[in-house]
Structure 1
Amino acid sequence: MSRRSTFTDQSVTYGAIGATLDPDFLRYPPEGFRPAEDRVKLGSGAERFERAAEQLMTWGVQQGSGFTVTEISPGTGAQYSGLAFDPEGSPLQAQPAQRTEQRFAADGTPFITAGMTATLRSGRHSVPVLVVYVIDEPDRIGFAYGTAGDAPEAGEESFILERRDDDSVWLTVRSILEPAGGLRRLTAPLQRRRRRELTKQQLRALHPAFPS
């Protein structure tokens, strides 16, 4: 079951948190938002999946696509599947919050958790992000973050790794983004070209044919 995080002391710069999990948002995005979905086969087998999962959950896609990840703050790990209701159909005042167990890479680096914040830096640009949900299942793992401060684009990106029934391993990158307001909207075509190039780099970041 896919689970989205909950957080109370942070905020993002867009509505519809968890939009990258919702097919309707991807097919019919709010005005101004651009949805995208791309995937790449990384190989096959349990070893490939586990190795890619460790890279993915320690910011491997971001570092492999040219970002330096700084100012990392731990998340709460709290998760929820949606609102819980009482027998009369009213939302419970105290909503249940599931927590995922903290996992670590072989070198001791903690995996990304729900509620974690970080800043992605590339050249002169920096993008503050907040991890809005984490997926951790036997053959499916990943996360999404949303923009949490001033950036050229506002919205959400997700990075989901899965091992399919045929033993193949795939990385899917989804985004639903809009250009920031003001003069930046005039540079939207250039931003789209940069986004496509960034997506190519993201898809290559975990691929064994493109060692970092």
Structure 2
Amino acid sequence: MSWTNPASAQWREHPEGFRRWETSTRLGDGPAVWDWASTEVLRWGVKTRSGFTVSPAAAVRTGDRPVIMAHPFGLSVREPVEVVAVVDASDRVGFAYRTLPGHPVTGEEAFVVHRDGDSVLLTIRSLTRPGRGHWRVMYPVLLLAQAVARRRYLRALRVRAAR
């Protein structure tokens, strides 16, 4: 089950106690932009083009448990996740993952490329609450880091799509 529901254009329900966030950005127009962006999103392109590493670097599949590494200030922060939903339709492509123990925050995130007429858009959905252990006290700082990452996510596929 996915709380961020990447298969749906409307995101209505979510559990209480989480910070909910959603936004979309236009990547461009036409089939070439769609083909490139829909392929890239299913290969972790939003994350890797934002400065994260993903291991293994393979196409997303429900149940996969890759390790994402963030690299703030020359450090490496391990972010274990599990892919909980994948959508691969003619007008909507993307996935959602939930965080696993050891991740700095608790929650779920979805990256979806979809069409609106000829326009190609990227929608990002996120549910977040403090992580466990020592990460809990760092939550205010992690929210700032999350805001920076989100700005990078919104640019990640737009950079290539604009060419």
Q: Do they superpose with TM above 0.5?
A: yes
Task: Find the counterpart in structure 2 of residue 172 from structure 1.
Answer: 123
Per residue, is there more helix in 1 or in 2?
2
Q: Aligned to 2:114, which of 153, 156, 162?
A: 162
Task: Find the counterpart in structure 1 of residue 16 from structure 2.
Answer: 30
Alpha-carbon displacement from aligned partner over 1:19-75 (angstroms, at most 9, x marks no partner): 1125121xxx412x1111121100011110111111111111110111111146xxx
- The one-letter code of the counterpart of 1:173 is I
- The one-letter code of the counterpart of 1:178 is R
Task: Find the counterpart in structure 2 of residue 105 from structure 1.
Answer: none
Equivalent-residue separation in structure 1 for 2:122 and 2:128 (angstroms): 19
C-alpha displacement at 1:173, in angstroms? 0.5
C-alpha displacement at 1:129, in angstroms? 1.1
Task: Find the counterpart in structure 2 of residue 94 from structure 1.
Answer: none
Task: Find the counterpart in structure 1 of residue 146 from structure 2.
Answer: 195
C-alpha displacement at 1:193, in angstroms? 1.1
Residue 29 of structure 2 corresponds to residue 44 of structure 1: yes
- Tell me the TM-score normalized by structure 1: 0.67
CA contact (8 A) 2:68 2:79 kept: yes
C-alpha displacement at 1:194, in angstroms? 0.9
C-alpha displacement at 1:183, in angstroms? 4.3
Equivalent-residue separation in structure 2 for 1:196 and 1:210 (angstroms): 22
The equivalences for 1:74-113 within 5 A come to 111-113=59-61
Residue 78 of structure 2 corresponds to residue 126 of structure 1: yes
The change in CA–CA distance for 1:112 and 1:182 in structure 2 (over 3 A counts) is: closer
Q: Aligned to 2:43, which of 41, 53, 58?
A: 58
**RMSD of aligned C-alpha atoms?**
1.9
Other structure's SS at 2:61 match: coil
Residue 105 of structure 2 corresponds to residue 135 of structure 1: no
Other structure's SS at 1:19 match: coil
Alpha-carbon displacement from aligned partner over 1:164-193 (angstroms, at most 9, x marks no partner): 12x111000101011113443333221111
Corresponding residue pairs, total: 153
CA contact (8 A) 2:54 2:69 kept: yes
Task: Find the counterpart in structure 1 of residue 136 from structure 2.
Answer: 185
Equivalent-residue separation in structure 2 for 1:115 and 1:187 (angstroms): 29
Bigger-Rg structure (1/2): 1
Alpha-carbon displacement from aligned partner over 1:134-165 (angstroms, at most 9, x marks no partner): 01110110000111231110111000110112
Residue 3 of structure 2 corresponds to residue 19 of structure 1: yes
Other structure's SS at 1:117 match: coil
CA contact (8 A) 1:204 1:210 kept: no
CA contact (8 A) 2:28 2:161 kept: no
